[in-house]
Amino acid sequence: MKLIVGLGNPGAKYARNRHNIGFMAVEQMAADHGFGPWKSKHQGSISEGRFGSTRAVLLRPETFMNKSGDSVAAAMRFYKLEPEDVVVLHDELDLAPGKVKYKMGGGHAGHNGLRSIHSHLGPDYGRVRLGIGHPGHKDRVAGYVLNDFAKAEADWLDDVMRGLSDGAPYLAEGDNAKFMNAVSLRTAPPRPSTGTKGPKKAPSPASTPKAEPPAEDTAALSPLQRLMDRFK
């Protein structure tokens, strides 16, 4: 069983913030895979269901970002899980918009949600880093992550959400290579080959050489006709 956690802040005013991309991801998974209704539990909202034969719990901590670990730890204790059974989806400033990376363990890189989770679980849990880009200066980070995604970002955001949902069964199984492949098929689909030649075009009437008239059979001419031809 996996506990799949999407990070964000609770409340309608934060719903489309860049910081809430983790919430958006688990909501997409729940909707696409027929999970149960969201219920208030473990200082958050949970939705339970299965990806094929694999049971999973989706969690949105509702403690605000910097207390996310309180909710994650409560859910872990209830379901008797270990840190390696937990995967956290979160926004990542150091990845370009639309880029997705999976990693197991490592630091929190200053992310307040991960910092809180580290304080309860330690570093040995999985995380899916969802690139949102960087505003260019550290003083602009807070305003950037707490602003909504721009309309111009809608296409890549939709591709990422659908890719994460496509790959969710593999994420629950622990097959991270197949998970990333499913995401890539949405976010960076293979280009059609340009090396094959198309069918040859039929020659146009203007370019088709005209047939020569058949040569006259001189052997069939009489001696008088052949003599007359010499003086034409």
Q: Which residues form the catalytic set?
A: 19
Give CA–CA dist 7/115, Å, rounded.
12
Q: How many CB atoms lie within 10 A of CB 45?
A: 22
3-state secondary structure of 48: strand
> Does residue 38 contact residue 49 with C-beta atoms inside 8 Å?
no
Give CA–CA dist 27/56, Å, rounded.
13
Give CA–CA dist 94/127, Å, rounded.
14
Which structure tokens are listed for 122? 């330690």
